[in-house]
Amino acid sequence: MRGPLSRRVHTPIRQKAWYERDGGQRLAQDKERIASSFPGLTYAIDEETHQVSLHGIMTLLADCGIATSLHLRIVFPDDYPEHEPRVYDVAQRFPHEADRHFYPDGQLCLWLPPESRWDKQDPDGLCRFLEEVAVFLDQQLTCDALGGQKWPGKQRSHGDRGYIEFIPECLGGNERLLDALGPTLANRSGIQRNSPCPCGSGKKYKRCHLDVVQEIGQKIGWTRLYALFARQSASSPDK
């Protein structure tokens, strides 16, 4: 005879989607702020995939009164608000090219990942993020006004070069320091916490540049950082 337990069907316990956690507080909070600051955008939730997105129009107003409507799709990652949403130029209003800081699928390349301005702790973070998006799109319109050839303002180089520009800035633009810490950043020095700091200060590494190296590694991601230095080393074997 089979007991009642034998008839039980084991269904996997579904982890709550981000918008269901804490009684849906974060989504409700975001919705309210979006409704007042970006009323052209509306939420869509796919109940099957649990993907949340914002669709609609962001309107940029020029001082002369001319309004430019831009059709956007903002997709939230599964671990939102841990990571920032992705934004897409749906109507292909701008050329989806690297030099215009777009991926081929229309995703905006807002910033170098370690320079992200996303603040997961900020309850108004989504509106702040969309304001950054608005500035990016305003720069796109300005770029069009300049003939589409010249990016208005500062920008990062593409690919690895963007990171190569970023790392010395973390070291205060000190090229000599970069040369000294390079092997450590590339995980090739085998340095210990109590070893003398490679910068030549005479202090122990843990009391000198350990924190800075840790910060760079955490911002970029250790795997990416090592791969970056490996590619650099392969492309210029003399270094």
Partner 1 sequence: MYDGFPDDLRALCFKVDEGIYQVQYVSSTDLDELLRAYALPWRRDVSITEVENDKKRFPLNRIRYSSAETPIDLDSLSIYNSKRVLAASLFADVSGFTRYIDAATSEEDQQTALRVFHAIRKETARVIKGDFNGLRIQYQGDRIQGLFHLPQDDAGALVKKAVEAAAGLQASMEHTLKACLPEAGDLHLAIGIDLGTTLVSRLGARGQRDRICLGAAVENAARLEEQSEGGQVGVSREVFSLLPDDLQLCFTYSAKARGYIATHFTTEQIERVEKATRIYGAGAPAFVHAGATGVTISSQESTDARTIIPARPYADKAEGMV
Please, which residue, 112 or 212, has the CB nearer to partner 1? 112
Q: How far apart are CA 92 and CA 70, in angstroms?
A: 9
Pick from 15, 25, 92, 142 the residue near partner 1 by CB under 8 A.
142
Pick from 26, 81, 132, 229 the residue near partner 1 by CB under 8 A.
132
Smallest distance from partner 1 to CB 151, Å: 8
Q: How far apart are CA 27 and CA 21, in angstroms?
A: 9
Pick from 78, 120, 159, 215 the residue near partner 1 by CB under 8 A.
159
DSSP string for the chain? ---GGGG---PPPPPPPGGGGGGGHHHHHHHHHHHHH-TTEEEEEETTTTEEEEEEEEEEEPTTS-EEEEEEEEE--TTTTSS--EEEETT--S---GGGTB-TTSBB--S-GGG----TT-TTHHHHHHHHHHHHHHHHHHHHHTTSSS-SS--PPSHHHHHHHHHHHHTTT-HHHHHHHHHHHTT-S---TTSBPTTSSSSBGGGTTHHHHHHHHHHH-HHHHHHHHHHHHHH-TT-
Smallest distance from partner 1 to CB 48, Å: 27
- Residue 186 binding partner 1, by CB under 8 A: no
Smallest distance from partner 1 to CB 182, Å: 20
- Build a one-symbol-per-residue string for 16-35: x at contacts with partner 1 by CB under 8 A, - elsewhere: --------------------
- Residue 129 binding partner 1, by CB under 8 A: no
Please, which residue, 39 or 200, has the CB nearer to partner 1? 39
Pick from 93, 138, 196, 210 the residue near partner 1 by CB under 8 A.
138
- Residue 99 binding partner 1, by CB under 8 A: yes
Pick from 12, 104, 172, 190 the residue near partner 1 by CB under 8 A.
104
Phi and psi at residue 215, to the nearest 5°: -65, -45
Pick from 38, 88, 205, 229 the residue near partner 1 by CB under 8 A.
38
The answer to whether 173 touches 96, Cβ cutoff 8 Å, is: no
The answer to whether 110 touches 102, Cβ cutoff 8 Å, is: no
Residue 165 amino acid letter = E
Site residues for partner 1, 57-86, by CB under 8 A, read 58-64, 66-68
Pick from 111, 183, 206, 208 the residue near partner 1 by CB under 8 A.
111
Smallest distance from partner 1 to CB 44, Å: 20
Q: Footprint of partner 1 on this chain (CB under 8 A)? A: 36-40, 58-64, 66-68, 97-99, 101-104, 108-112, 115, 117, 127-128, 130-132, 134-136, 138-139, 141-142, 144-147, 150-156, 158-160, 162
